[in-house]
Amino acid sequence: MAQLWGGRFTKETDQLVYNFNASITFDRKFYRQDIEGSMAHVTMLARQGILTDKERDEILACLKGILADVESGTLKITEEYEDIHSFVEATLIDRIGDTGKKLHTGRSRNDQVALDMRLYTRKEVLAVDELLKELLHTLLNIMEEHVDTYMPGFTHLQKAQPVTLAHHVGAYFEMFKRDRQRLSDIYHRMNYCPLGAGALAGTTYPLDREYTARLLGFYGPTLNSMDSVSDRDYLIEFLSALSTIMMHLSRFCEEIIIWNSNEYRFVEIDDGYSTGSSIMPQKKNPDIAELIRGKTGRVYGALMSLLTIMKGIPLAYNKDMQEDKELTFDAMDTVKGCIALFNGMISTMKFRKDVMEASAKKGFANATDAADYLVNHGVPFRDAHSIVGRLVLYCIDRDKALDDMTLEEYQAVCPVFEQDIYEAISLKTCVKKRTTLGAPGQEAMERVIREERDYLERYKSIS
Ligand code: ARG
């Protein structure tokens, strides 16, 4: 048992208590941030005359050595330490003796862990944003390629009106673009430095918090020491943004699973992203899409857990907060993995243009356009709706499409129909005429694609 306290105690900690309390198994993940934070702290202490320059240099050199040794694997972060803070400080003291004992001057593990977690999370916000950007590039490439790939648009999973694949994928482009905006909001709100808040009430040393904040790339120091050590809002916001990303991925996965089914056959997932069955030789399963859909649950779970952990905690630091880490790390790693895999899956997936187009031609996706045709010839919309409804019923009975009816059949129901009805309800016309911004018509779509290309060109990263 290696711990930083004990002076006040007369008995050893029970081993079970020690294990229950320890966080080294998971907070070792931010050893780098812990060391960087300590380096900034020591640099500031010397600048303020609290440490000598010689002491600072000795500590900094040793911290650098510890970092290098951990990264190269020659120094192992073992479970004999209570947490990553103890590990770094104990190793420092081991290596340089008494000077090392000065590192923790004017600092508490409460502001230290608040800093480490913030530094780690800030890096992760950028990493998730980068992955989303790559996904947006993939989606935009698909959109550019499929402005003329016709497919049915659905409501209630029933064919509704014809759209294009570019338009359908474009909907997800907008969702993931908003996800990036959410990450940016979070980044700008969280980028303030809690170091110097001490245990809860600041310290009596003349610390320069502006300076450490700047050294660590923050906009500035946080403004209330009690809030600084007990704020986990930024994690909750991040988990919420991650949950929204998963919700979007999960919806897309659900569609891909449907599209990949034997009944739809709109897409074929690449062999590299499918799996087989141990018993049914014919099977090629969309496991990756299903797993991403499934993993959404654990990310939502992390959000709910942290909200629940935080709801009853009085100011300021309480040990409950140690529970913020495992679930947040798990959510971050899960989301990063899911975005990367989804990107791989969709960029290798085959879209069957012919099957999509054939499907759009069946199922009366052009019924609204037939009604609009009548409206354009002076029939009030409500009447037109009813007339086309009757035509659809007629076609269903005879198992055919509106496009397959003869002009006589049309005119038997309504004499307003003329030869140009066929052109008016052809798939291509139906899509082409939807020219309002945001609609699937080629011109409107191409304008959106240009704007989004421009956005990706302009907006490369948050910081
Ligand atoms: N492992 C602790 C955490 O993650 C570090 C802070 C410990 N502070 C304390 N007063 N026990 O929250």
Tokens standing for 229?
Answer: 């050590």
Residue pLDDT, tens place only, 112-144: 999 999 999 999 999 999 999 999 999 999 999
Rounded to an integer, what distance in angstroms lies between the CA atom of residue 153 and that of residue 149?
12
Rounded to an integer, what distance in angstroms lies between the CA atom of residue 393 and that of residue 402?
10
Q: Across 180-307, where does the E strand assignment appear?
A: 192-193, 220-221, 267-268
152 to 2, 146, 447: CA distances (angstroms): 64, 14, 22
Please give the distance, rounded to the nearest whole angstrom, from the Cα atom of residue 298 to the centre of ligand 1: 25
Check pocket membership of 30 for ligand 1, CB cut-off 6 A. Answer: no
Check pocket membership of 322 for ligand 1, CB cut-off 6 A. Answer: yes
Check pocket membership of 318 for ligand 1, CB cut-off 6 A. Answer: no
Please give the distance, rounded to the nearest whole angstrom, from the Cα atom of residue 418 to the centre of ligand 1: 79
Q: Across 54-112, where does the E strand assignment appear?
A: none
Between strands 220-221 and 192-193, the pairing is parallel
Check pocket membership of 23 for ligand 1, CB cut-off 6 A. Answer: yes
Catalytic residues: 156, 277
Residue 83 alpha carbon, nearest atom of ligand 1: 1
Please give the distance, rounded to the nearest whole angstrom, from the Cα atom of residue 239 to the centre of ligand 1: 21
| Predicted local confidence at residue 174, as pLDDT | 98
| Predicted local confidence at residue 2, as pLDDT | 66
Category of 351 on φ-ψ map: left (φ > 0), alpha (ψ -120 to 50) or beta: beta
Q: Is the peptide bond prior to 316 cis by the omega test (within 30 degrees of 0)? A: yes
- Answer whether 24's CB lies under 8 Å from 84's CB: yes
Please give the distance, rounded to the nearest whole angstrom, from the Cα atom of residue 245 to the centre of ligand 1: 30
- Answer whether 218's CB lies under 8 Å from 134's CB: no
pTM of the model: 0.94
Exposed/middle/buried for 460, CB within 10 Å: 0-12, 13-18, 19+?
exposed
Rounded to an integer, what distance in angstroms lies between the CA atom of residue 208 and that of residue 258?
58
| Predicted local confidence at residue 295, as pLDDT | 98
Residue 147 makes CB contacts below 8 A (sequence gap 6+) with 164, 166, 442, 445, 446, 449
User: Residue for token digits 């709706």?
Assistant: 385
In DSSP terms, 151 is beta-bridged to: 163
Nearest CA to ligand 1 atom 12: 322
Check pocket membership of 109 for ligand 1, CB cut-off 6 A. Answer: yes
Helix axes 165-190, 442-458, angle to 10 degrees: 30
Nearest CA to ligand 1 atom 2: 322
User: Residue for token digits 């005359």?
Assistant: 49
Please give the distance, rounded to the nearest whole angstrom, from the Cα atom of residue 278 to the centre of ligand 1: 47
If we measure between CA atoms, which residue out of 107, 87, 97 comes closest to residue 55?
Answer: 97
Instruction: Kindly report the number of other CB atoms within 10 A of residue 19's CB atom.
Output: 12
Check pocket membership of 321 for ligand 1, CB cut-off 6 A. Answer: yes
Check pocket membership of 55 for ligand 1, CB cut-off 6 A. Answer: no
> Which domains, from first to last, does the chain contain?
6-105 (1.10.275.10), 110-354 (1.20.200.10), 359-458 (1.10.40.30)
Tokens standing for 44?
Answer: 């500031």
Rounded to an integer, what distance in angstroms lies between the CA atom of residue 228 and that of residue 211?
17
If we measure between CA atoms, which residue out of 14, 15, 9, 462 comes closest to residue 241?
Answer: 462
Nearest CA to ligand 1 atom 3: 322
Exposed/middle/buried for 7, CB within 10 Å: 0-12, 13-18, 19+?
exposed
Residue 82 alpha carbon, nearest atom of ligand 1: 1
Check pocket membership of 329 for ligand 1, CB cut-off 6 A. Answer: no
Please list the ranges in the chain whose pLDDT falls under 50.
Answer: none
Rounded to an integer, what distance in angstroms lies between the CA atom of residue 63 and that of residue 42?
10
| Predicted local confidence at residue 1, as pLDDT | 62
Would you call 163 helix, strand, or coil by DSSP? Answer: strand
Residue pLDDT, tens place only, 159-204: 999 999 999 999 999 999 999 999 999 999 999 999 999 999 999 9
- Answer whether 169's CB lies under 8 Å from 139's CB: yes
Rounded to an integer, what distance in angstroms lies between the CA atom of residue 175 and that of residue 163?
18
| Predicted local confidence at residue 154, as pLDDT | 96
Dihedral, 79, 82, 85, 87 alpha carbons, nearest 10: -40
